[in-house]
Amino acid sequence: MKLPHPSKSFLYLLLTFGLFLGGMPVEVNIRDTAIFTCNETCNGHLSWTFNTNNENLDVLKCAQNTCTEGDNFKNRVSIKPGTLSLTLYPVLYNDEGWYLVMCDSVFLCRIHLEALVPTTVSASVRSNVTLPCYARTEKQIADDTVNILWKKDDQTVVQVQKGITTYGSGFKGRASVSLHHYKDGDLSLNILRVTPSDKGLYRCYHRDTEEHGYPAAVTFNVTADQKFYAKKFGDNLTLDLFGSDRVKVTFTGHDAAETLVCSVTGINPTCSSDYSHRVSVIKGFLVVHDATSSDTGTFTVRDKMGEVIGVNTVTVEGVTQRHHFITVSVLIGFTVICICLIIWCQCHGKSQAQQYRCSYKAVLSNVDINPEPLREPACIGLSQQETNPVPDVCPRTPVEETMPETVRTIEKQDDTEEYITTGIGFDKTI
C-alpha cells in the first residue's frame, strides 16, 4: 500500500506551528554523519520524507521489514534496528532542511538538519586563540539588548543576554566576546590559555540566539606544544605538564624505542626505575635532574585521553663526548709534534754531518806540507765522490815531488843540534 504524501499546505502548517512535534535541531558538518532520533513506534508503513523549498522528497520507506531508499538518498540512509531513528551519511550541503516521520497517515516526528561548512582553526596548548564569527548587526544597539551565544559540541561556552554574561564549565576567565566589536559585526570568541579539552566544533548565534553568524561553525584543533632544549651534562630538564590531572610522559631515544618515564596524577609521579631516583614534580612541571647524554631524544607528554599535548626535543652535551673530543685532540697534537721533531732531526742531522765533514777536511789541510796560500777551500760543496766508498771525504790535491821542502830549525842554548824536519820524518845532525 502506497503511503500518501501530506499536502504542501499541511506541511507548511506543521513546520510553522507544529512545535508540539518536538525534536532538537541537528547541526552537522558536511561529509559528516547525521543521526535523526525519533522515539515513537510504528507498526504500519513507515516513511521518512525531506522538505525544503517546497520540495517533498522520499528519504526512506519501510513496509514489512523491507526498506526502500529515495532516489536522492541512495546508499546514504539506514534505520537503526528496533527504532525509527535514521542515520544519514555523508551529509551533503543540499541535505539541509526538514525531515518528517510518518506511520501510515499519522505524523510522528519533525527534525531540522543544518549542514555546516566549518572554518578550521588550530592552536597549540597554552596559547591564546580567536575563533571568527561575523553577522549583520545594529550599529546603535544598546549593550543591554545584545544577544550572543557561543556553543561547543552543544554545550554553552559563553552567552551574553540582556547585558548579563554567563560561562560554560571550564571557560570562566578564559572565554570572552566584545560588545564594542559586536556593533561592528564582529562576534569572534577569544580563548586564553588553550587546553587539550578545548578542541571541538564551535557555533556562533545572535539575535535572541536564533540566527547563525558567519561562518556557521568553527572546527578548533588543539596541537601539541613544541619545545627544544639544549642542555649541558648535569643540568636539570623541566617539562610542562599543562595543568592536566593525569598525564603520561614517555621518552624516545636514538634507538626509536618509546619507554615510560613517569605517570603523573596531581603531584604524585609513578616513574620507571631508570628515572625514579632523579625525577620530581614541582608546580605542575616534571623535573628531570642531572641530565646525561642518554637523555638526548624526545620526551612526549600525553593527557588522560592519550592525546599528545607536549613534544620536548632534548640534546645533552655528554661528559663522555667532551672527554673523547679532548683525547682525540691531544693525540692529533702529539702526532703533529712528533712529525715536526722527526723532520727537524733529519734536517739538523744532515747539517751537522756536512759541518763535520768540512771540519775534518780543514784539519787535514792544516797538517799538509803544502804551504800554498792560494789553495781552494777544503770543502765548498759535496761532489759526486761522496757516493764513492773512499776513506777521504774531502779529496786532497797530490803534492808534487819537486815542491821545496819546508825546513824548520830549532836551536837550543846548551846544544847546537839542528833538526831538519821534512814532510816524511826527522833527520838528526850533530
Q: Copy the grid coordinates of residue 86.
A: 535514521
Compute the average pLDDT of residues 297-306: 93
Q: Residue 293 gets which letter from DSSP?
A: G
Predicted pLDDT of residue 336: 83
Res. 125: pLDDT tops 50: yes
| Residue 168 pLDDT grade (very low, low, confident, very high; cuts 50, 70, 90) | very high
Residue given cell 564582529 in the structure block:
186
Indicate the fold that domain 119-223 takes in CATH. Immunoglobulin-like (2.60.40)
Is the CB of residue 110 less than 8 Å from the CB of residue 121? Answer: no
Residue type, 46: L
What are the residues whose beta carbons fall under 8 Å from the beta carbon of 247, sequence distance 6 or more?
A: 241, 263, 264, 301, 302, 303, 304, 309
Report the C-alpha gap between 252 and 207 in whole angstroms. 52
Q: Copy the grid coordinates of residue 110.
A: 519533525
Compute the average pLDDT of residues 234-252: 92
pLDDT tens column, 68-106: 999 999 999 999 888 999 999 999 999 999 999 999 989
Q: What percent of the chain has pLDDT over 70?
A: 72
Other C-beta atoms lying within 10 Å of the C-beta of residue 423: 11
Domain range summary for the chain, segments of one domain joined by + = 8-116, 119-223, 225-317
pLDDT tens column, 346-389: 776 666 656 656 555 554 455 444 444 544 444 444 444 444 44
Compute the average pLDDT of residues 142-146: 88
CATH architecture, domain defined by 8-116: Sandwich (2.60)
Report the C-alpha gap between 85 and 141 in whole angstroms. 43
Predicted pLDDT of residue 415: 45
Residue type, 44: G
pLDDT tens column, 25-37: 898 889 999 999 9
Assess whether the region 8-116 and the region 225-317 belong to the same CATH fold.
Answer: yes
Q: Are strands 308-317 and 225-232 parallel, antiparallel or unpaired?
A: parallel
Secondary structure of residue 17 in the 3-state scheme: helix
Indicate the fold that domain 225-317 takes in CATH. Immunoglobulin-like (2.60.40)
Please report, for residues 380, 385, 394, the alpha-carbon distance to residue 398 in angstroms, rounded to integers and kept in the order given: 18, 16, 13
Predicted pLDDT of residue 402: 44
Averaged pLDDT of the chain? 79
Res. 224: pLDDT tops 50: yes
pLDDT tens column, 274-291: 999 999 999 899 999 999
